[in-house]
Protein backbone atom coordinates (compact mmCIF):
# COMPACT_ATOMS: atom_id res chain seq x y z
CA UNK A 1 0.00 0.00 0.00
CA UNK A 2 0.99 3.59 -0.48
CA UNK A 3 2.65 5.76 2.11
CA UNK A 4 2.24 9.47 1.49
CA UNK A 5 2.82 13.01 2.68
CA UNK A 6 -0.25 15.17 2.13
CA UNK A 7 -1.01 18.87 2.47
CA UNK A 8 -4.18 19.68 4.40
CA UNK A 9 -6.71 22.33 3.46
CA UNK A 10 -8.32 24.89 5.71
CA UNK A 11 -11.87 24.21 6.86
CA UNK A 12 -13.59 26.30 4.18
CA UNK A 13 -11.71 24.57 1.35
CA UNK A 14 -12.40 21.16 2.91
CA UNK A 15 -16.10 22.01 3.08
CA UNK A 16 -16.12 23.12 -0.57
CA UNK A 17 -14.49 19.89 -1.74
CA UNK A 18 -16.73 17.75 0.46
CA UNK A 19 -19.79 19.46 -1.02
CA UNK A 20 -18.57 18.38 -4.47
CA UNK A 21 -18.09 14.82 -3.20
CA UNK A 22 -21.67 14.91 -1.85
CA UNK A 23 -23.02 16.18 -5.19
CA UNK A 24 -21.39 13.24 -6.96
CA UNK A 25 -22.59 10.81 -4.29
CA UNK A 26 -26.16 12.13 -4.41
CA UNK A 27 -26.15 11.67 -8.20
CA UNK A 28 -25.13 8.02 -7.78
CA UNK A 29 -21.66 8.62 -9.18
CA UNK A 30 -18.31 7.46 -7.79
CA UNK A 31 -16.72 9.89 -5.36
CA UNK A 32 -14.15 9.99 -2.61
CA UNK A 33 -15.42 8.53 0.67
CA UNK A 34 -17.53 11.20 2.34
CA UNK A 35 -15.69 10.69 5.65
CA UNK A 36 -12.26 11.16 4.01
CA UNK A 37 -10.15 14.29 4.34
CA UNK A 38 -9.51 16.37 1.22
CA UNK A 39 -5.79 16.83 0.61
CA UNK A 40 -3.02 17.36 -1.93
CA UNK A 41 -0.47 14.55 -2.09
CA UNK A 42 3.05 15.98 -2.09
CA UNK A 43 5.13 12.80 -1.64
CA UNK A 44 4.59 9.07 -2.18
CA UNK A 45 6.55 5.87 -1.63
CA UNK A 46 5.81 2.22 -0.91
CA UNK A 47 7.68 2.70 2.35
CA UNK A 48 8.89 5.82 4.14
CA UNK A 49 11.74 4.90 6.44
CA UNK A 50 11.46 6.20 10.03
CA UNK A 51 14.93 7.80 9.81
CA UNK A 52 13.64 9.85 6.88
CA UNK A 53 10.13 10.46 8.21
CA UNK A 54 11.40 12.42 11.20
CA UNK A 55 12.87 15.05 8.81
CA UNK A 56 9.67 15.65 6.82
CA UNK A 57 8.35 18.50 9.01
CA UNK A 58 11.57 20.46 8.45
CA UNK A 59 11.41 19.78 4.69
CA UNK A 60 7.84 21.11 4.60
CA UNK A 61 8.72 24.40 6.25
CA UNK A 62 6.19 26.91 7.53
CA UNK A 63 2.39 26.96 7.32
CA UNK A 64 -0.06 28.38 6.42
CA UNK A 65 0.54 28.54 2.68
CA UNK A 66 -1.85 30.17 0.20
CA UNK A 67 -3.90 27.64 -1.78
CA UNK A 68 -5.84 28.12 -5.00
CA UNK A 69 -7.92 25.24 -6.34
CA UNK A 70 -8.86 25.72 -9.95
CA UNK A 71 -10.45 23.86 -12.83
CA UNK A 72 -11.15 20.22 -13.42
CA UNK A 73 -8.66 17.54 -14.46
CA UNK A 74 -9.25 14.03 -15.78
CA UNK A 75 -6.51 11.39 -15.53
CA UNK A 76 -6.55 7.94 -17.11
CA UNK A 77 -8.42 6.31 -19.94
CA UNK A 78 -10.92 3.53 -19.14
CA UNK A 79 -11.04 4.05 -15.37
CA UNK A 80 -10.61 7.75 -14.81
CA UNK A 81 -9.80 10.04 -11.93
CA UNK A 82 -11.70 13.32 -11.71
CA UNK A 83 -9.89 16.03 -9.76
CA UNK A 84 -9.57 19.76 -9.17
CA UNK A 85 -6.26 21.31 -10.23
CA UNK A 86 -4.15 23.12 -7.65
CA UNK A 87 -2.46 26.25 -8.93
CA UNK A 88 1.26 26.06 -8.28
CA UNK A 89 3.32 28.73 -6.56
CA UNK A 90 7.03 29.00 -5.89
CA UNK A 91 6.39 28.08 -2.23
CA UNK A 92 4.31 25.02 -3.12
CA UNK A 93 6.89 23.80 -5.63
CA UNK A 94 9.67 24.30 -3.07
CA UNK A 95 7.79 22.19 -0.51
CA UNK A 96 7.22 19.48 -3.10
CA UNK A 97 10.85 19.44 -4.24
CA UNK A 98 12.08 19.30 -0.63
CA UNK A 99 9.86 16.33 0.21
CA UNK A 100 10.73 14.56 -3.05
CA UNK A 101 14.46 14.96 -2.35
CA UNK A 102 14.01 13.70 1.21
CA UNK A 103 12.21 10.56 -0.01
CA UNK A 104 14.88 9.74 -2.64
CA UNK A 105 16.06 6.63 -0.72
CA UNK A 106 12.55 5.27 -0.19
CA UNK A 107 11.34 2.45 -2.46
CA UNK A 108 8.40 2.75 -4.81
CA UNK A 109 8.37 6.44 -5.68
CA UNK A 110 6.19 6.85 -8.78
CA UNK A 111 7.63 8.84 -11.67
CA UNK A 112 4.64 11.16 -11.85
CA UNK A 113 5.62 12.59 -8.44
CA UNK A 114 9.03 13.86 -9.63
CA UNK A 115 9.62 17.61 -9.90
CA UNK A 116 8.49 18.67 -13.35
CA UNK A 117 6.14 15.66 -13.60
CA UNK A 118 3.89 16.29 -10.58
CA UNK A 119 0.37 17.59 -11.15
CA UNK A 120 -0.93 18.90 -7.82
CA UNK A 121 -4.64 18.18 -7.43
CA UNK A 122 -7.48 17.36 -5.07
CA UNK A 123 -9.23 14.14 -6.06
CA UNK A 124 -13.01 14.22 -6.44
CA UNK A 125 -13.57 10.66 -7.73
CA UNK A 126 -11.70 7.56 -8.88
CA UNK A 127 -12.52 4.65 -11.17
CA UNK A 128 -15.01 6.59 -13.28
CA UNK A 129 -16.06 5.52 -16.74
CA UNK A 130 -16.03 8.15 -19.49
CA UNK A 131 -19.83 8.28 -19.25
CA UNK A 132 -19.66 8.93 -15.49
CA UNK A 133 -17.10 11.69 -16.01
CA UNK A 134 -19.44 13.29 -18.54
CA UNK A 135 -22.32 13.16 -16.05
CA UNK A 136 -20.12 14.50 -13.23
CA UNK A 137 -18.74 17.57 -15.00
CA UNK A 138 -21.84 19.77 -14.71
CA UNK A 139 -22.15 18.85 -11.02
CA UNK A 140 -18.67 20.01 -10.02
CA UNK A 141 -17.66 22.62 -12.58
CA UNK A 142 -17.43 26.11 -11.11
CA UNK A 143 -16.86 29.52 -12.64
CA UNK A 144 -14.35 30.60 -10.02
CA UNK A 145 -11.35 29.18 -8.24
CA UNK A 146 -11.55 28.17 -4.60
CA UNK A 147 -9.08 30.02 -2.42
CA UNK A 148 -7.83 29.39 1.07
CA UNK A 149 -4.75 27.95 2.72
CA UNK A 150 -2.83 24.78 3.29
CA UNK A 151 -2.83 24.59 7.08
CA UNK A 152 -0.44 21.71 7.58
CA UNK A 153 0.47 18.22 6.50
CA UNK A 154 -0.13 14.63 7.46
CA UNK A 155 1.55 11.30 6.92
CA UNK A 156 -0.94 8.84 5.50
CA UNK A 157 -0.26 5.16 6.08
CA UNK A 158 -2.31 3.39 3.42
CA UNK A 159 -1.53 -0.03 4.86
CA UNK A 160 -3.08 0.72 8.26
CA UNK A 161 -5.34 3.53 7.01
CA UNK A 162 -4.07 5.94 9.65
CA UNK A 163 -3.02 9.56 9.60
CA UNK A 164 -0.42 11.33 11.65
CA UNK A 165 -0.34 15.12 11.65
CA UNK A 166 3.28 16.10 11.03
CA UNK A 167 3.04 19.86 10.50
CA UNK A 168 0.47 22.56 11.22
CA UNK A 169 0.14 26.30 11.44
pLDDT for the residue numbered 15: 97
Backbone angles phi, psi at 112, to 5 degrees: -70, -5
Q: Which residues contact 165 (CB under 8 A, 6 or more apart)?
A: 8, 152, 153, 154
pLDDT for the residue numbered 117: 96
pTM attached to this predicted model: 0.95
pLDDT digits (tens, 9 = 90+) for 87-105: 999 999 999 999 999 999 9
pLDDT for the residue numbered 167: 87
For the chain, residues with pLDDT lower than 50 are none
Amino acid sequence: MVQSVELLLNEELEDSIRSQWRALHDAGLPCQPLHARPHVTIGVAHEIYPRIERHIPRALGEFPLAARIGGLLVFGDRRMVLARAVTTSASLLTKHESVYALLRECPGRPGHMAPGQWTPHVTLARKMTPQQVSAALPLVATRKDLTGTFVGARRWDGTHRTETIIAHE
